[in-house]
Amino acid sequence: MHRFLADDRARLDKILDSVLTEANRFLSEVDTLPVGTVSPANIAEINISKEGIGALKTLALFKERYAAWMSGSAGPRYYGFVTGGVTPAALAGDWLTSVYDQNSLGSDESIAPQLELETIALLRQLFELPDAYTGSFVTGATMSNFVGLAIARQWVGLKRNINFAEKGLWGTEPSPIFSATPHSSIYKSLSMLGMGRGAITSIPCIPNREAIDISILEEHLRNLNGKPSIVVANAGTVNTVDFDDIAAIAALKTRYTFWLHVDAAFGGFAACSPKYRSLVEGMDLADSITIDAHKWLNVPYDAAIQFTRHLELQAEVFQNAAVYLGQEISSSNFVHLTPENSRRLRAMPSWFTLMAYGKEGYAEIVERNCDLAEWLGKEIGRSETFELLVPVHLNGICFTFKKGKDRASFDLVKAYLKKLKEKGDIFLTPTVYKGTPAIRVSIANWKTTQKDVEIAWRSMQREIEEFI
């Protein structure tokens, strides 16, 4: 055995102790670290060495080159994109995932698939979804959208007597895909699936909302005269956290032939709280659902869940025919259900956190995050400098600020956000909402408290002075 492999094997406990020390150091500082990365001017180039240096020296080198520059994005004042942190139990599950290094592809060599299956069952209970849904873990909501739309494509083919998984889409007529405010990853998924970004027919929204106008959607469905289509409903839009009326869309299924995919990447967590559950009413009638775990479930990257009611069709798409893998289609034979063959047991952090904090724990996180968004939204709405563009929905705020009498330009918005990032107290992301350059706040970290949003708000007010 190579010298350093043998040495490291002999001193594994010492290596793990050193990693624990570094983990404790980082986790004790993460709440007060600058929330956005401030990278060193340049990192000197490095080459692979002939002999290697062993794990302990590598850890020292890593700390010198990278550890000091890790941002506080997993901390309580990072409100960019939709970003969760890592609960203590999720962290424990994540570490052990690597320790056990199981392949959750579905063989009976490992108990991993059972654990994944059980985690899916726990998540069904959390989101109050019926047992008719099977699910599997994928790397993020983008992949979950991809899988949901892949099954939708197969379903449309079935209705048209074409097996797309066998024949491909070559030379066939496109079927329409309707949505009002889809996440960019829907377009990316359609591109990867060969259905094309251009396949989406954009349905107008209700005035002053990002939610779909149901009557216009119905008009489009009616015009298809029974031809199959796909509807992508959005539960939690990124700009304003708006929700389509999923129950009303689902009700159209009795009259029209369409697959209903719900992108509930983070909005699905509304189901955790009785206060917000009505926002996702009807989600349990969807054909496929996307929910992200590395957002509001607060598990580490990379984890999301895809749910579907159509296991057989899913296996038609993702089936991986190889004698040594077995052909059995079941909800735990994951090799036939997702794009990956070999799979990390990425359900484990979710299993740990769900067992550790239960339904009440998640209701508390969701409600606290939403209360804090409401508090910050009220301050923004009351101020003369800032302007709330829509009422606060769930955990999201969409606002802008004035430069003199006019609203800030996109460049000015970006300059302000850059300044905030440099100051390091709060991280926000820019957007354009119905043509207006704007700023989003999304609170999804389990650690965030009133104290954090007050620090954030003080920083927002202090740094705006030079931009107005």
Residues that bind ligand PLP (CB under 6 A): 81-82, 140-142, 183, 185, 236, 238, 263, 265-266, 292, 304
Which lies closer to ligand PLP via its Cβ, residue 94 or residue 463? 94
Q: Which is nearer to ligand PLP, 283 or 315 (CB)?
A: 283
| Residue whose CB is less far from ligand PLP, 188 or 220 | 188
Q: Which is nearer to ligand PLP, 234 or 333 (CB)?
A: 234
List the structure tokens of 152.
């939708």
Closest CA to 84 of 294, 265, 241: 294
| Cβ(100)–Cβ(109) below 8 Å | no
Q: What is the closest distance, in whole angstroms, from the C-beta atom of residue 303 to ligand PLP in the complex? A: 9
Smallest gap from Cβ 445 to ligand PLP, in A, equals 14
Separation between Cα atoms, residue 131 and residue 330, nearest integer Å = 14
As a residue count, the chain comes to 468
Nearer to ligand PLP, 95 or 266 (CB): 266
Query: Does the N-terminal peptide bond of residue 302 adopt cis geometry, omega within 30 degrees of 0?
Result: yes
Q: How far is the CB of 429 from ligand PLP (least distance, A)?
A: 10
Chain residue whose CB lies nearest ligand PLP: 140
Provide the minimum distance between the beta carbon of 291 and ligand PLP in the complex, in angstroms, as a whole number.
Answer: 10
Q: Which one, 119 or 459, has the nearer CB to ligand PLP?
A: 119
Closest contact distance (angstroms) between CB of 140 and ligand PLP is: 3
Give the integer Cα–Cα distance in Å for 88 and 369: 18
Q: Exposure pattern of 262-276 as b/e (b: 16+ CB <10 Å)?
A: bbbbbbbbbbbbeeb
**Residues 366 and 272: beta-carbon distance below 8 Å:** yes
* Nearest distance in Å: CB 182, ligand PLP: 8
Nearer residue to ligand PLP within complex by CB, 333 or 445: 445
For strands 288-292 and 429-433, give the pairing: unpaired
Which segments of 111-257 are extended strands (E)? 134-138, 177-179, 200-202, 229-234
Secondary structure of residue 192 in the 3-state scheme: helix
Q: How far is the CB of 168 from ligand PLP (least distance, A)?
A: 25
The answer to whether residues 268 and 304 touch, using CB atoms and an 8 Å cutoff, is no
Q: Dig out the tokens for 2 from the structure.
A: 């190579």
